[in-house]
Amino acid sequence: MKLPQEVYDIAEAIKSMTIRGAGKIARSTAEALKITAQKSTATRVEEFVDELTLAAKILYETRPTAVSLPNALRYIMIRCYSDYEKGASLEEIRNDVIKAADEFIRNSLEAVNKIAEFGSMRIENGDVVMTHCHSSTAIAVLKRAWDEGKRFTVISTETRPRFQGRITASILASYGIPVKMIVDSAARFFMQDVDKVIVGADAVAANGAVVNKIGTSMIALAAHEARVNFFVAAETCKFSPESMLGGLITIEFRDPTEVVDQAFLKENPGIEVLNPAFDVTPAAYIDIIFTEKGAIPPQAAILILREEYGWFTKAPLPDFLRGVRSVPLSHIS
């Protein structure tokens, strides 16, 4: 079964981190399913559903930690399977899939604007704000605050090993916001100068724990120690429904050559280089999560999940979109 080339291109771009950021990953996922539906040459309903399921599976396997990705798939595929169970025609299912994809993309973009509105209320004149990695949602908060006339300085970690923080620093500086960039390991050293920390999220668990770029939890710990407010900006599509059932969020380990070159590995065969892409910040170190529903304490994450994904256990979905993805992360608390 051959899918449109654009679907494979999007999947590869997500896997290789050419497309990065949980929100953008989710929107690109929705766009890939939309393209599949639009370009399908299927003449039977079963064939069309199989094509869409294959596209969903290919996309699902690209980035295991980005919860927004399977949530985007679920948002669209539940319409597909529900229509199929009701005996809808091929064109009815196709139109509903395209409509659902458009809705998801529109809702995602609107969510970022609402989060920026809520988050900017917490930024004040004279603040020094630390951020980590590249979050379009956290950036939107800072841009909104700047547009409101507030003047502040941002400290951006460069975020090794792929240096996404340099992207953040460049975007903010081009917007006119004063930026100081630091190496990740200097975050605690500069925390004494910081008033607030704001980061994005790749996943939010039912207990309020946040999965984000590796190094986030150390910054949160330093902020907690220094009594600095630690904020997270996250759309509700990043909340993990699997975590309501006790499932833990998979932490992606990436290629060691992102950290050291191949020559080092060959010269030192006895060294195992570990490269986790994310870590887990406990709810106890988080003051507020800004969502499009409002500013909530992390302990209220379960309420968001019940409201948004109460259908999860009963939804007509394939096994790979229902499975609880778990790894031994006993430190999630």
Give the integer Cα–Cα distance in Å for 254 and 258: 8
User: Which structure tokens are listed for 193?
Assistant: 């100068």
Residue 314 lies in a domain: no
* 133: annotated active-site residue: yes
Residue 107 lies in a domain: yes
Total number of residues shown for the chain: 333
- pLDDT score at 224: 98
Mean of per-residue pLDDT scores for the chain? 92
Residue 315 lies in a domain: no
My answer on whether 270 and 301 are in the same domain is yes
Give the integer Cα–Cα distance in Å for 216 and 159: 10
pTM, two decimal places: 0.84
- The neighbour count for residue 27, using CB atoms within 10 Å, is 22
- pLDDT score at 320: 79
What residue numbers bound the domain in which 168 lies?
A: 115-309
* 202: annotated active-site residue: yes
My answer on whether 185 and 305 are in the same domain is yes
My answer on whether 186 and 266 are in the same domain is yes
Domain boundary among 113, 139, 173: 113
- pLDDT score at 325: 41
- pLDDT score at 323: 55
Give the integer Cα–Cα distance in Å for 121 and 150: 10
Task: Summarize pLDDT for 59-83 with one digit per residue, the tens.
Answer: 999 987 778 899 999 999 989 999 9
Residue 323 lies in a domain: no
My answer on whether 32 and 138 are in the same domain is no
Q: How would you classify residue 250: left for phi > 0, otherwise alpha for psi between -120 and 50, otherwise beta?
A: beta
Contacts of 2 (CB under 8 A, 6+ apart): none
What CATH number should be reported for the domain holding residue 290? 3.40.50.10470
My answer on whether 137 and 154 are in the same domain is yes
Q: How many CA atoms lie within 13 A of 228 on its CB side?
A: 25
Indicate the SS3 state at residue 153: strand
My answer on whether 56 and 88 are in the same domain is yes
Contacts of 44 (CB under 8 A, 6+ apart): 90
Residue 317 lies in a domain: no
Give the integer Cα–Cα distance in Å for 249 and 214: 14
φ, ψ for residue 62 (rounded to 5)? Answer: -75, -45
Q: CA angle, 140 as apex, 113 and 6 as ends, to 5°?
A: 80
My answer on whether 97 and 126 are in the same domain is no
My answer on whether 88 and 236 are in the same domain is no
My answer on whether 193 and 292 are in the same domain is yes
The DSSP secondary-structure symbol of 148 reads: T
Domain boundary among 79, 113, 147: 113
> Pick the catalytic residue: 83, 202, 279, 287?
202
Q: Which residue blocks in the chain are alpha helix, DSSP H?
A: 5-15, 22-39, 45-60, 68-85, 90-120, 136-147, 164-174, 187-190, 216-226, 262-267, 301-309, 319-322
Give the integer Cα–Cα distance in Å for 312 and 78: 10
128-131, strands of its sheet edge to edge? 179-182, 153-157, 128-131, 196-199, 229-233, 288-291, 294-296
Give the integer Cα–Cα distance in Å for 67 and 241: 9
My answer on whether 137 and 108 are in the same domain is no
Contact present, 35 and 98 (Cβ < 8 Å): no
My answer on whether 152 and 262 are in the same domain is yes
My answer on whether 166 and 60 are in the same domain is no
First-to-last C-alpha distance (Å) of the chain? 43
Residue 332 lies in a domain: no
Give the integer Cα–Cα distance in Å for 105 and 103: 6
Residue 272 lies in a domain: yes
Give the integer Cα–Cα distance in Å for 230 and 232: 7
Indicate the SS3 state at residue 28: helix
| Residue ranges for the chain with pLDDT beneath 70 | 310-311, 313-314, 322-333
- pLDDT score at 313: 63
Domain boundary among 113, 135, 153: 113
Residue 321 lies in a domain: no
Please give the tally of structural domains in the chain: 2
What CATH number should be reported for the domain holding residue 80? 1.20.120.420
Task: Summarize pLDDT for 206-265 with one digit per residue, the tens.
Answer: 999 999 999 999 999 999 999 999 999 999 999 998 888 777 788 999 999 999 999 999
- pLDDT score at 324: 42
